[in-house]
Structure 1
Amino acid sequence: MDQTARPLRIPPEMGTYAEKHGIFDLMQTILSRLLVDKPQDPVEYLLDLLKRGNFEVPQIFVLGPPAAGKKTIAKMLCEQLGATYISPDNLLAQDSNVVKEALEFHNKKQDIPNVLWIKLVEERLSKMDCIKRGWLLEGFPKTREQAVLLQEKGISPEHVVFLEAPDAVLIERNLGKRVDPETGAVYHTTFDWPSNEEVQGRLVEPPGISEEETANKLLEYRRNNQALENTYRYVHKVFNADQPCIDVFSQVLTFVLSRHRSVAPFTPRILLFGSPGSGKSLQAELLSQKYNIVNICCGQLLKAVVADETSLGELIKPYLENGEQVPDTIVLKILTQRLSKLDCTTQGWVLHDFPRDLDQAEKLNDAGFIPNRVFFLDLPNELCIERLTLRAIDPVTGDRYHYLYKAAPSQQVQSRLQRNPRDSEEDLLRRLAIHHENIHDLQEFYRDAVHVNADQDPHSVFEVLESRLVNRPPKTVKRQPLTHF
C-alpha cells in the first residue's frame, strides 16, 4: 500500500448538490425499478427509463377492513392517476402457470400460500402497463409476513393508504352490499342504489356479508392491522372512511400526490444549538450512538488538535491555555478538515459548540457545510444555572453527581466532590449573556430549525429529536436576509 497517499476526502458540496437536485431520490427510484422489474438488459432499460422521464409513476397500496370503500377509492385513484388497478381477484384472472398453481389451492377452498401470492404480484408488476403507468394494489398485503416477502422482492410502495371506520358502520355497509353479476359493479341498498330498473332486477347479494361473517373478517383484519401500519410506518396514512366518498377521495389524492422519499437517503448533517446546560453534548452522543454518525464538539476537537502536537496545535495552544477565543479562521480550517473526512461525508455528523454567532454560521455555510437538520434546545436561564452550578465530580471514581438530582451515596464521597470552575455562577452568567447576544441572529439564519423544550427527561428530548430526524427532516438551509438585529 502506498503510505504516502493522501487520505480520501469527498467534497462537502457533493451531498448538498445531490439533495438539492434530487439525486438521492433519482437513484432510489432507479434502484427500486430495477429490483421490481428485473429487465433482461438493465442498461437498455435504464436508458429507456431516463428518456421517457416518467419513472416517478404511482406505486400505491390501498388497505382497510371489509366495506371501508377500498375498491371505490382505488378505482377513482387509478382513473385520476392513469395507474393500473390490481387486486387479489384480478391477479387470479391472469393466464400463467403461477395463476394455475394458485387456482388449484383456491378451487379446493384452501388458502393460497404467501409465496404464491408474492409470485402473482411480482409477475403482474412486471407487465408493461404497470412499468409505464404505475400501479395500485388494493386489498393486499393482508399480513406483515406478506408485506415482508414483498419487500424482499423489492416491491415497496411509495404510498400506503389505510381506510378506517367504526366496526358498526362497516357491518351496516356490508349488509347492504349488492353486486351486478354481469358487470361486477358494487351497489348498496341505502347509499348507492342504481336508478336503472334492469340493473336493479339482476343485483344479487354477494357471499360472506352476513353480520357474523363480517365480524369475523373484521376481527382478522384488526389482528394484523397494527403490524402492517408499523411495517409501512414511513409511507402510510390513515383516513377516516366514515364520511362522504368524495371527501375521502380528495384527502387520499392529496396524500398520494405528495413526495416523502427524501427521508431515507439523506446523510444526516445536524446542528445542535442551546445554552450551557441545555444538554447538547448528551443529545449529540445519543444521536451518534444510535445512528452511527460522527459526533463533533468544536471545543473537544480543538483540544484534540493540541494533543496531537501538530503545527496547527501549537498555534492554538496559547489561546486555550489562556482561556481566549481561537480566531475563527483557524477554527474553521480545523473544522472543515474534520468534516471533509470520509466518515463524516458518508455517515453524517452532528455538530455542537459551533457556530456561536452569525459570522461563524455564514462562514460555515460558505465553506459548503450546510446542515439539513437544525435543532435549538430551549431552556430558561434559571434551569441552566440550577443544572450546572450544583453538579460535581468524584475525582476518585470519575462519577458525576448533582446536589439536587443525584446526591452522593455517602458522606465520604460527598466530602471529596469537586466542581468545575466553569460551573461557577459568575462564569455561567457570562456565558449565558454571550449565548443570548447571538441566539436571535442564529435563529433568523436557520429559519427552518426545530425548537425543542429541553426542560424534560433527556430521553424524552431525544425522542423528539429522533421523530423529527427520521420522519420529517427540516429543509436544507438557505440564507435569508435579516430584518433586524
Structure 2
Amino acid sequence: QNMLEELLIHKPDDPIEFMINHLKQNNDDAPKICILGPPASGKTTVAMWLSKHFDAIRVSQETLLFKETLALTEEAKAYKEKNQKIPNALWANLIQERLSNVDCIKQGWILEGFPENQEQAWMLQSFGIFPRHVVMLYASDTVLIERNSGKRLDPLTQEVYHTTFDWPSDPLVQQRLVKPDDLSEQEVSKKLLEYHRNFPEVFQIYQKVLKSINADQPSVDVLSQVLTYVQTRHRSAAPFTPRIIFCGPPGSGKSLQAALIAQKYGVVNICCGQLLKEAVADNTSLGELIKPYIDNGWPVPDNLVLELLTQRLSSLDCLTDGWVLSGFPRDIDQAEKLHKSQINPN
C-alpha cells in the first residue's frame, strides 16, 4: 500500500526501478518501536521480548556501546570510561548509523530507552527516524526504587532478572547474575528526577503514536498490553509527511487552496506574508530587522525571509505534521535560494 501511494505521488519516470528500490530499502511491515520509561520500569524486559517475538533488532545503550562496532562506538565509550555524560548528538548519530544498517531496515527495530529528552527526539526526527509506535511504561517512584534494589543482570546475555518478580530457573544463570553498578537508592532517585524533568517534552513530541502502560502489574499483563498496541496500525489522511509549495499569480487562490489542504491533512499552513507580520508583532530579533521594511511598504530582503522560513519549517510541528507554504518563492532567484537553504518540497 505504501509503495502504491508513493508511486501515485512521485510519478517516477521508471516505475519498475522505483518499486525495486522501494522493496530493497523498505519493509512496510517491519516494526519501528520505541520503549520508554523511568529506571526499573521494565524497558529491557519488554524490548527483549518484542525483539524475540518479531525477530527485530533491539537497540539500547548496552548494545550500541558493547555489542556493535560502529564508527562512533569508541568515541562514546571514551566518555563512558571517564564517567562523563555522552552528548545527545553522539547518541543520535550512533542510533542513526545503527538503524540504517540492512538488518534494521529489513527486520525492523526496537529502540530501548531512546530518546531520553527533547533534543534527542528532535535529532532523531531530523535524521528521518520516526517510530510507528512508542510505548511509555510508568509506575510510582516508590515502586520503582523498591523494584530497582532487586534487579540483577546476566553479563553473558544482558538479560535482566529480579530477585522477587523474575528469578531464573537455571542454576547456571543464577550463578552468573550480578548487581548492576548504578543501583544505589540515591542514584535511582537522581535518574528518576531527570526522567520526570524530560518526560513531558518527549510525551508531547510522540503523543500521536504513544501509549502509556502501567508497569506495576504482572509482566505477562504488561507484555500482553504492549503487544496489542504495537500490532495496531495508525490511520493517517496523508501517505507521508507532506512538504507543499503553492505557486501562482495574484488572485489565483493559493491561500485558499493551502488552507483547505492544511485543514484536510492536518499539516501546518504557512503564508509567507502572515509569517513576516507575526515576526514583527512578536518583537523577535528577526522581526525587529523586518519591521522597517513592513512599515515603509518595501519588499523584505530574501535573506531575512529565508532565515525566518528556515526557522519556522524546522520547528517540531512542521517536521512531524508536514507543511504547506504559499507566498514564496515568487521568482527563480528566490526558488534557487530556497533550494540552497535545504527547503525542498516533495
TM-score bracket for the superposition, by shorter chain length: 0.5 to 0.7
1:85-124, aligned counterparts within 5 Å? 85-93=58-66, 94-124=68-98
Residue in structure 1 matched with residue 30 of structure 2 by the alignment: 57
2:143 counterpart residue number: 169
Give the conservation status (yes or no) of the 8 Å contact 1:167–1:218.
yes
Query: What is the alpha-carbon distance in structure 2 between the residues aligned to residue 83 and residue 210 of structure 1?
Result: 33
In structure 1, C-alpha distance between the alignment counterparts of 2:262 and 2:76, rounded to whole Å = 52
Q: Which structure has the bigger radius of gyration? A: 1
Task: Report if aligned partners of 1:58, 1:133 keep a CA contact under 8 Å in 2.
Answer: yes
Question: How many equivalent residue pairs?
Answer: 254
8 Å CA contact retained: 1:142, 1:224: yes
1:134 to 108, 125, 136: 108
Query: Is the Cα–Cα contact under 8 Å of residues 70 and 97 in structure 2 kept in the other structure?
Result: no
CA distance in 1, matches of 2:137, 2:123: 23
* 1:171–1:214 CA contact under 8 A, matched in 2: yes
Tell me by how many angstroms 1:202 deviates: 3.2
Structure 2 residue identity aligned to 1:243: Q
Per mean C-alpha deviation after superposition, the further-off stretch among 195-204 and 173-182 is 195-204
Over 3 Å counting, the alpha-carbon distance change for 1:22 and 1:113 in structure 2 is closer
Secondary structure at the counterpart of residue 38 of structure 2: coil
Q: CA deviation at 1:27?
A: 3.6
Q: TM-score, normalised by structure 2?
A: 0.64
CA RMSD in angstroms, aligned pairs only: 3.6
Structure 1 position 90, deviation (Å): 0.8
- Which position in structure 2 is the counterpart of 1:328? none
Deviation at 1:54, TM superposition (A): 3.3
Code of the aligned partner of 2:93: K
Aligned counterpart, 2:286: none
The alpha-carbon deviation at position 191 of structure 1 amounts to: 1.0
Q: When the two structures are superposed, what TM-score results if normalisation uses the length of structure 1?
A: 0.47
Query: CA contact under 8 A between 2:155 and 2:178: conserved in structure 1?
Result: yes
Identity %: 49
Letter of the 2:64 counterpart: L
Q: 1:206 to 1:85 in 2, by over 3 A?
A: same
Distance 1:228 1:61 in 2: 12
- The match for 1:348 is 260
The 1:266–1:152 alpha-carbon spacing in structure 2 relative to 1, beyond 3 Å, is closer
Contact 1:49/1:55 (<8 A) preserved: no
Q: Once the two structures are superposed, what CA deviation does each residue of 1:413-444 show, in whole Å capped at 9, x if it has no partner?
A: xxxxxxxxxxxxxxxxxxxxxxxxxxxxxxxx
Distance 1:180 1:82 in 2: 21
Aligned position for 2:20:
47
Correspondence for 2:124? 150
AA aligned to 1:245 is: S
Alignment-derived partner of residue 53 in structure 2: 80
- Residue 271 (structure 2) aligns with: none
Q: Which stretch shifts more, 229-238 or 87-96?
A: 87-96
Query: Hey, what's the Cα distance between the residues in 2 that align with 1:53 and 1:202?
Result: 40
What secondary structure sits across from 2:135 in the alignment? strand
The 5 Å alignment of 1:39-438 reads 47-50=20-23, 54-93=27-66, 94-263=68-237, 347-348=259-260
Please give the residue correspondences for 1:441-480 in structure 2 after superposition, counting only pairs within 5 Å: none
Q: Deviations over 1:328-354 (max 9, x none)?
A: xxxxxxxxxxxxx77666642799xxx
Whole-Å Cα distance in 2 between the matches of residues 350 and 158 of structure 1? 22
Q: Provide the secondary structure at the position in 2 that maps to 1:239.
A: strand
Q: Give unmatched runs, 5+ long, in structure 1.
A: 1-20, 32-42, 268-340, 352-370, 374-469, 471-485
For 1:335, the equivalent position in structure 2 comes to none
- With over 3 angstroms needed to count, the CA separation of the structure-2 counterparts of 1:174 and 1:152, relative to structure 1, is same
In structure 1, what is the Cα distance between the partners aligned to 2:57 and 2:152?
A: 25
Q: 1:26–1:105: structure 2 CA closer, same or farther, 3 Å change rule?
A: farther
* Cα separation, 1, equivalents of 2:25 and 2:128: 22
Q: 1:182 deviation in Å?
A: 3.1
Q: CA deviation at 1:128?
A: 0.5
Does the 8 Å contact 2:2/2:239 carry over to 1? no
